[in-house]
Structure formats: C-alpha cells, structure tokens
Amino acid sequence: MLLNPDLLSQLAPLELKARRIVEGFISGLHKSPYHGFSVEFAEHKPYNQGDDFKHIDWKVYGKTERFYVKKYEAETNLRAHVVLDISSSMNYKYFADWSKLTYSVHYAAALMHMMNRQRDACGLVLFDDQVHEMIPPKSSYTHLRMLFNRLKKVMEDNPGAEEVRRSASADALNQLAENLKRRSLVVIITDLFENVKGHDELISSLRHLRHKRHEVLLFNVLEHKSERDLDFPDGQYLFEDMETGRQLEMNPAQFRNSYQQKVEEYTRKFKIACSEAGVDFEEIDTQKPFDLALLAYLNKRKRLA
C-alpha cells in the first residue's frame, strides 16, 4: 500500500519521504494491473567479456551464482531536468491534504530518488514567469541530497499574499530551451494556471524544447474535485484568483455542467496539441497517490532506454 499524506507528513526528512513513496510504488506494481512491469534499477549489470574482473560483486555471486559488475556513478544513463512551477497558484488546496506545490515537491523528490537509483543524472529548475534557478544534472548521492534540501526550502519559502508569483510557463520554458545545451529529458510539473488564453504560446514553447532535441514529459497537477469538477457543496462561495486578486461570488452548482464541459474541451485540445508536438502529457490529482504519475515516468523512461 502507498503511504497516505498524513503518515508521510510525520516522516522526515524529505529524502525519507521520497524513498517511502518509491518503495511503496514498486511494491504496489506487483499487486496491480501492471504486474510484470520491469523496474530494474541499474546498481549492477551482468558481467561481459572485457569487463574488469576486480569489479565483480562477490556477495551477489554468492547468492545467485552469477557474475555481476558494480555500476558506478560515472556510468550515467540519462540526463534529466525536473522543472517545477513555484508560482502563487501552486499554493492552492481546498479538499486535498496538501497544496499543489507541496504535492509536487514530494512527487519531484520521488522522481529524483528513482532517477538516482537508476544512475541517471538529475537536475532541478524552478520557475514562475521566468526561470529563477537551474541546478545542473548530476548522478551522485551528494547531489541528490542537495536537491532534496533545495526542494524542502521551496516549501519553507512559500510567499504570502503580499509576494505574488505570477505564472508565465511559456516564457519560462522558452528561456529554458535556450539555456539547456545538452539533450535531456525535461519533466515539467505545473498547474498550467495561466494558459487557457496562452494555449498557442505554451504549445510553441514545448515545440521549442522539442526542436532543441529534448524529450518532454508534462505533468499537469490539479486538485481535480475543486479545480476540474467544481464539485463544491451547494451554496454561495467567494472565489479569489491567487495571482491577480480578482474575486467572483457564485454558486458552483449553477455553473458546474458548463464549466466541466469547457474544461474537458480545453484539456482534450491541449492533449491533442501535445501529442502532435511529441510531448507526453499526464494529469495528476493531488487527492490521489503518486503511483500513476510514477508509472507514466517509468513508461517514458523505458521508451528512452
């Protein structure tokens, strides 16, 4: 079983939480419809003629009677950048235990832990309307610890209402495309808050990344019950835009059907546009476990192997 947010919140530090998420996910794979999905972490590789005999792991040989060679951190399989949206809209939560930002930080940490186990080099990019920080990918455990500490600080440095961080994903992703010099897997975690009107600009920025020969995996993180389904109990509510401060008083029940239809139409068009651009698009619900999102990453990783 995957750990629930209440239990995870009691575990510290973020490194331990990430490890628990990944271990629970791997354990759950063998009890799910995805039974048989291969999750092979590259800590060892079979001995091949020409490999240095001194690197054979004799403990593994004692258990398996097969020769395996230890893999070292220099043997990086993939370069990946986890690109995290830190705009003010990511602080939203209503029904969920965690805000979109807190959920995304834990998901990002789990991805990084999984990448490190596979000896992939992982970096971190933080953005709102521009790229604020770029930590280059490395595969060492020391680097992973540093990334965890930076993610923890992202949660601790949450700005208040007086310190609004505006969303502008297209601008930030275009900036990122110009700054990434080596071909990489770019994993973007964002709520796509501002992009209903900026649909074409966002798709153009994703195409920009693809033009630079990067692989792109886009995770749209939302609290589905409130943001996608508008499923509030009947009554009057005052809604406030977390980035502009604009307010609207309404009864969600009166607009729910038309709202859901428009969201569904927008999402369908966006998915088609992503597919045409060669971008993998996945939705994440902050009230759901991390397993489907992690599986989406593993499927992408498998195709790149």
Question: What integer pLDDT is reported at residue 197 of this predicted model?
Answer: 67
Rounded Cα–Cα distance for residues 257 and 244 (Å): 26
The answer to whether residue 35 scores a pLDDT higher than 60 is no
With H, G, I as helix, E, B as strand and everything else as coil, classify residue 241: coil
Please give the distance of CA 211 from its chain centroid, rounded to a whole number.
22
State the virtual CA torsion across 181, 185, 190, 196 in degrees, nearest 10.
80
Question: Does the domain formed by 79-304 have CATH 3.40.50.410?
Answer: yes
Q: Pick from 157, 148, 186: which is nearest to 278 by CA?
A: 186
- The string of pLDDT tens digits covering residues 170-197 is 889 999 999 998 999 999 999 987 666 6
What residues does 240 pair with on adjacent strands? 247
Helix (H) or strand (E) holding 156: helix 141-156
Q: DSSP states of 72-89 as a string?
A: -TT----EEEEEEE-SGG
Helix 141-156 / helix 14-29 crossing angle, nearest 10 deg: 110
| 210-222 per-position pLDDT tens digit | 999 999 999 999 9
Q: Are the C-beta atoms of 243 and 87 separated by less than 8 Å?
A: yes
Helix (H, G, I), strand (E, B) or coil at 62: helix
Give the CA-trace dihedral at 254, 256, 262, 263, to 10 degrees.
150
pLDDT digits (tens, 9 = 90+) for 107-138: 999 999 999 988 899 999 999 888 999 999 99
Torsion of CA 266, 267, 268, 271, to 10 degrees: 120
Locate 218 and state its tokens: 């886009």
Query: For residue 39, is pLDDT > 50?
Result: no
Contact call for residues 112 and 104 (beta carbons, < 8 A): no
Q: In the chain, what are the domain boundaries?
A: 43-72, 79-304
Q: Residues 251-270: pLDDT tens digits?
A: 999 999 999 999 999 899 99
Q: Strand 131-138 relative to strand 121-127: parallel, antiparallel, unpaired?
A: antiparallel
Digit-coded pLDDT (tens) for 55-108: 677 776 776 777 777 654 444 478 999 999 999 899 999 999 999 999 999 999
Residue 100 is given by DSSP the state H
Alpha-carbon distance of 153 to 264, in angstroms, equals 35
Length of the chain: 305
